[in-house]
Amino acid sequence: MEPPVPRLLGPPDIPAAMDLKKAAGWNQTEADWRNVLCLAPEGCFGIEAAGRLASTATAVRYDRRLAWIGMVLTHPTCRGRGFARRLMEHALEHLAAHGSEWIKLDATDMGRPLYRRLGFEDECPIERWGRGAEAAVSAPRVASFALDEWRSLDAQAFGADRSRLLATLAPCGSAAIPGGGYAMARPGANAAYFGPCVSRSPEAARQLLGWFLAGHPFQPAYWDLLPENTAAAELAREFGFAPLRRLVRMVRPGVAGAAPLTHHNSHVYAIAGFEYG
């Protein structure tokens, strides 16, 4: 049997990619797939089987310092055939060719053994929290999000320049607290999504969470956070969120001898999504 051959994904593949997403029960929408394809047109890969898209993986490059792998999906009927491993190898080759110094991903229990075999190591836990549909809350006063004001703080918190990602997500919903922080929100297939949120203080994060909840009354909500930021977890509990699942953030060098990647999880109150970090 010939080995599976990865190919580039494009907008016409979105319906088939959504079928894979639905089979996994994930929260992404067609807009999320369009955004990934726009951010990484040369880094979205798939494998076909029996004439249909059977497996996917994406590799978003931020600056040279960091790239992020996500959307690693395989149809249940095609698992165990090495598709995910081949796509991961292909994505890593792609990132190596572009000199990405560090590569990260958020791993499920199912994917973690494969990622370990490919050289990834655990960095920290990451958790999805959720809450059910509840009544509206009062909307706090917030300011408009301006990328130039928050680019530096976001890069310090995350460890790389995510300007293109933030510019892509901001039109879906964004707000800021002057001098405090910013947050974004977007629709999901299963629940409204809070994130990213980068804040200098719990007080600013509280106001940004209030903005999010006021804008999504009577809707279930998801919030992906780093539990080592205890202020974020405490805020989530206060507003009725509870842990739903735990993943592991993993990292591996993409270039030998790359300088350590610095980041500040204490400022990260919500990630941008498992596909973005």
| Domain assignment of residue 12, given as a range | 7-124
Give the chain's domain count: 2
**112, part of any domain:** yes
pLDDT per position as a tens digit, 170-222: 999 999 999 999 999 999 999 999 999 999 999 999 999 999 999 999 999 99
Residue 4's pLDDT band (cuts 50, 70, 90): confident
What local confidence, expressed as pLDDT, does residue 161 receive?
Answer: 97
pLDDT of residue 139: 81
| Cis peptide bond upstream of 41, omega within 30 | no
- Of the residues 81, 101, 124, the one at which a domain ends: 124
Residue 266 and residue 139 share a domain: yes
Q: What average pLDDT does this structure show over 218-237?
A: 98
Identity of residue 9: L
- Residue 1 is assigned to a structural domain of this protein: no
The pLDDT of residue 1 is 60
Q: Could you give the CA distance from residue 67 to residue 57 in angstroms, rounded to a whole number?
A: 13
Two tokens, residue 275: 């596909």
Report whether pLDDT(2) > 70: no
Q: What is the CATH number of the domain that holds 16?
A: 3.40.630.30
Pair (114, 156) in one structural domain: no
Same domain, 35 and 82: yes
Domain membership of residue 46 (yes or no) is yes
Summarize pLDDT for 141-181 with one digit per residue, the tens.
Answer: 999 999 999 999 999 999 999 999 999 999 999 999 999 99
Residue 134 shares a structural domain with residue 77:
no
CA–CA distance, 160 with 261 (Å, rounded to integer): 9
In a domain, 253, yes or no: no
Q: Which SS3 state, helix, strand or coil, does residue 91 take?
A: helix
pLDDT of residue 167: 98
Q: Which two three-digit tokens encode residue 139?
A: 């909307």
> Does 153 lie in the same domain as 25?
no
Does residue 11 sit in the same domain as residue 114?
yes
- Give the CATH number of the domain where residue 188 resides: 3.40.630.90
Residues 82-140: pLDDT tens digits? 999 999 999 999 999 999 999 999 999 999 999 999 999 999 999 999 999 987 778 88
**38 lies in the same domain as 57:** yes
Does residue 277 fall inside a structural domain? no
Q: Which residues pair with 52 in a beta bridge?
A: 49
